Amino acid sequence: MATKASRSAARIMMAPAVILLLGWMLVPLIMTLWFSFRVYLPLRGGDQGWAGFDNYIRFVTSSAFWPSVQTTLIIVLGVLVITVVFGILIALLLDQPIWGQGVVRILVIAPFFVMPTVSALVWKNMFMDPVNGLFSHLWRFFGAEPVSWLSDASLPSIIMIVSWQWLPFATLILLTAVQSLDSEQLEAAEMDGAPWHKRFWFLVLPHLSRAITIVILIQTIFLLAIFAEIFVTTGGAFGTRTLSYLIFQRVLESQNIGLGSAGGVYAIILANIVAIFLMRIVGKNLD
Amino acid sequence: MARSVTPRRKLINTTIAWAIGLLIFFPILWTILTSFKTEAQAIAAPPIFLGFEWTLENYRVVLERSDYARFLWNSIIIAGLSTLIGVAIAVPAAWSMAFVPSKRTKDILLWMLSTKMLPAVGVLYPIYLIFIELGLLDSRAGLVVVLMLINLPIIVWMLYTYFKEIPGEILEAARMDGATLPQELLYVLTPMAIPGIASTMLLNFILAWNEAFWTLNLTAVNAAPLTAFIASYSSPEGLFFAKLSAASTMAIAPILILGWFSQKQLVRGLTFGAVK
């Protein structure tokens, strides 16, 4: 159906978006790559020449590197487990006939629309403050010693805050998937006497597997990059320095651009590994 | 897979669902309630849930003290303009990919998606440097451009999935009747595409409003939006729970209302059409 004229028109219409994104991707990427091979300290002498792979080696051998990788993994895995498990449970619950379903849905989804700085600060102060936070009141009520959440249990606290933000996303996507499940199949299994856990394991879970994979991949990409939640709560202290926060500190706080850029290249490679899997699924869906 | 259940079962499900819903919503509810308390009531032990004297004092203080209007205006301008410009660039691109697909279309779409995966921190310094060189640091124009670019892939994708749903036969019929390309775009496609475009704009406005990496790192005073305004409360002075709550409530209220309308688009927009 496409004529030659409409083909060239299509190309022209596509051009602005493609050119802009190409520039947005290539220019900073090439600069980061370039800086990563330089000794570049803007506040202490500027660009001091070629560094070879020194920055790459120094970044991974610095004492802060492995703890930051560990922190990143704990936060990402913790949030993934919590959001996927509770997301499935809440999705299955919301799929049942209940009164006021629409309202409950809105209540569950609401946290996703709260800006990261607000949710982090509300949790930090009004819930996790060791003196005046709601948790400290609750702890005292049960006769326990209040916990200094963000310093003594910093990682669980961050995981809690971030999970609260991302649970709506997981729930909503899994709910969409649950709703497309064939109810006749389930009823048939029920009539054949399959107990609920078998129905869940052999019918519901396989049906959800694609949605679960998508939730995991998309969240991983966003979770690898969480920033504001750490920036306004601990500022990277108390063992909450993730890989991306470490890079941020190297670049903007200690102004060691070469080192930070090498870290940035590692982060880009890491994100791309996850992205490849996501693209495969999304790409299959396009055909 | 909703099925009919006994009333007793429905009652139990309803109770559990409401309990979970309220538990998840509680931090937001608590913030809104606290914003109407005095600072003393906000930290009272045991906490006061509803039995306090409602006051608008915190809102008055926040509005007076912090030049709130400027932050709000920055948020509106940055989120609004970046969305409008993004859609203006994305509509032609999505249109051509949906209706004049070539064998490269799929690759281009996936490549666009891949730019979204680029970790911001990896390109922080280059962008920072470019901003300094061009005098864009702490300017609304700079942030509009950056937020437009980071959301452009999502905008193109969402529009593409919406356009795909418009039957191509209608366009062909219009063409047979002698409609030119601009006419086809304006009179046939646009009316059918408006709901999709509106949903796309809504979701991207929300995403831009809440963006908290570039808005925190590329602004200082002049262009700082609400995300940065709230972040300034991270170094507290004295009693501030009630004021923090008032500021937070004002920052999230408009988006909570918009978000309510965009539930459905959320799934489509953030899964790139992989879950519908």
Alpha-carbon gap, residue A227 to A239, rounded angstroms: 14
A182 is in which domain, residue-wise? 65-240
Per-domain residue ranges of chain B: 7-60, 66-270
User: In CATH, what number is assigned to the domain containing residue A88?
Assistant: 1.10.3720.10
| Alpha-helical regions (H) of chain B | 7-34, 39-42, 57-65, 68-99, 105-116, 124-133, 140-164, 168-176, 181-183, 190-210, 214-217, 226-231, 241-261, 263-270
For A182-223, the DSSP string reads -HHHHHHHHHTT--HHHHIIIIIHHHHHHHHHHHHHHHHHHH
Helix (H, G, I), strand (E, B) or coil at A48: strand
CA distances from residue A163 to A83, A135, A243, B18, B251 in whole angstroms, order as listed: 6, 17, 19, 19, 21
Cβ–Cβ gap B125/A31 under 8 Å: yes
Alpha-carbon gap, residue B109 to A273, rounded angstroms: 18
Cross-strand bridge partners of residue A46: A41
Choose among B36, B66, B62: nearest CA to B48: B36
For A159-183, the DSSP string reads HHHHHHHHHHHHHHHHHHHHHTS-H
Please state which CATH number belongs to domain B66-270.
1.10.3720.10
pLDDT of residue A21: 93
Cβ–Cβ gap A108/B276 under 8 Å: no
Helix (H, G, I), strand (E, B) or coil at A247: helix
Cβ–Cβ gap B100/A17 under 8 Å: no
pLDDT of residue A205: 87
Residue A69 forms part of a structural domain: yes
Choose among A62, A109, A30: nearest CA to A259: A62
B210 — contact with chain A (CB < 8 Å)? yes
Cβ–Cβ gap A123/B18 under 8 Å: no
pLDDT of residue B238: 66
Cβ–Cβ gap B114/A275 under 8 Å: yes
Residue A88's contacts (CB-CB under 8 Å, 6 or more residues apart) are A174, A208, A212
Residue to substitute from A103, A115, A186, interface B, most B β-carbons within 10 A: A115
Q: Considering its fold, how many domains does chain A have in total?
A: 1
- Cα–chain-centroid distance for residue A105? 22
Tens digit of each residue's pLDDT (9 = 90 or more) over B220-231? 888 889 898 888
- State the virtual CA torsion across B197, B198, B201, B205 in degrees, nearest 10: -170
pLDDT of residue B4: 64
The token duo for A281 is 């699924």
Residue A179 forms part of a structural domain: yes
Residue A138 forms part of a structural domain: yes
Residue A144 forms part of a structural domain: yes
Kindly list the residues from chain B whose CB atom is less than 8 angstroms away from the CB atom of residue A168: 24
Residues of chain B with pLDDT under 50: none
Minimal Cβ distance to B25: which of A110, A117, A281: A110
Cβ–Cβ gap A248/B121 under 8 Å: yes
Burial class (CB in 10 A: 0-12, 13-18, 19+), B53: exposed
Mean pLDDT, 10 residues at a time, chain A of 287 residues: 71 90 92 90 80 87 89 93 95 89 89 91 88 85 84 90 94 88 80 84 86 86 88 86 89 87 91 84 75
Residue A38 forms part of a structural domain: no
A91 to chain B: closest CA residue = B17
Residue A81 forms part of a structural domain: yes
